[in-house]
Amino acid sequence: MSWTTADIPDQTGRRAVVTGSNAGLGLEIAAELAAHGAAVVLACRNPEKATAAAATIRGRTPGAEIEVRALDLADLDSVAAFADGFDSRLDLLVNNAGLMAVDESRTAQGFETQFGVNHLGHFALTARLLPHLLATPGSRVGSMSSMGHRGARGSADPKLERSYDRSQSYFHSKLANLLFTAELQRRLAVADADTIAVAAHPGGSNTDLGTEGSALTNWLARRLVPYIAQSPALGARPMLRALTDPAVRGGEHYGPRFVYRGATPVLETPSRAARDAEAARRLWDLSEEMTGLTPAFTR
């Protein structure tokens, strides 16, 4: 069965936080949610770019309710400040922001940047905003993964204890997004919460992901992606379905029909590694240790 953004139910009265929403997939997700009535918080590292994105959304949907707030996922103090200033209902938390194949660097707390931004920052954000989610009936946490999670080999290296491999660091961060979704959903179910965790991937989409870096792969991405990838609007559809389709169940993972591309988002089965329940628990424990946060699942 086909699914398009026309199938998104009315979102009036709902509030969403979308990380990395100043461009690419995040901008499209935020714009569609706003077009269907949701109040959307653009949570971005660069407030100036986010303000420009807000203007773009209002141009597409006059009267759209948009708020811009600073959030740097590479700094857990910034995550704490964002959450401390959030005092409203939260229906949709969209963990979308991400980095791909960047040059070696560390977050403010000393972790490998791709793992730190793509997973740890979002783990901390979810942990801190969980009380708002649990208090909101029908809320969802959506995490953006990648078909690249299937390429993860060996073990993650969040503390940069081995020689840096930009591709494997990215693949493991995307695998972590799926393991996090699985364990978050398990814990929500145990708590009998009315919140669910879902995941999606965009296939190959024409964004700036993978272009920021000095390696040959970054050079190739800058030149080839615009010609071989689908639009950000199509790439955003799997996440939009995961966030809004009433038929979606907790723990599900959506992607384009033909994996790399496709107008219709469909339910996918992630890799065997992403379905390893024990690995998901170990990652959760490690994430608590690295962030110093223990999410509370009581209302």
Q: At what angle do helices 277-291 and 122-134 cross, to 10 degrees?
A: 100
Catalytic positions are 170
Encoding tokens for residue 137?
A: 């009936």
Q: In whole angstroms, what is the distance from residue 237 CA to residue 257 CA?
A: 11
Q: Which of 183, 72, 92, 178 is nearest to 140 (CA)?
A: 92
| DSSP codes of every residue in the chain | ----GGGPPP-TT-EEEEETTTSHHHHHHHHHHHHTT-EEEEEES-HHHHHHHHHHHHHHSTT--EEEEE--TT-HHHHHHHHHT--S--SEEEE-----SPPS-B-TTSSBHHHIIIIIIHHHHHHHHHHHHHTSTT-EEEEE--GGGGG--S---TT--S---HHHHHHHHHHHHHHHHHHHHHHHHHTT-S-EEEEE---SB-SSTT-SSSSHHHHHHHHHHHHHSBPHHHHTHHHHHHHH-TT--TT-EEEETTSS--SSEEEE---TGGG-HHHHHHHHHHHHHHHT-------
**Residues 210, 217 contacting (CB under 8 angstroms):** yes
Q: At what angle do helices 24-35 and 237-244 cross, to 10 degrees?
A: 40
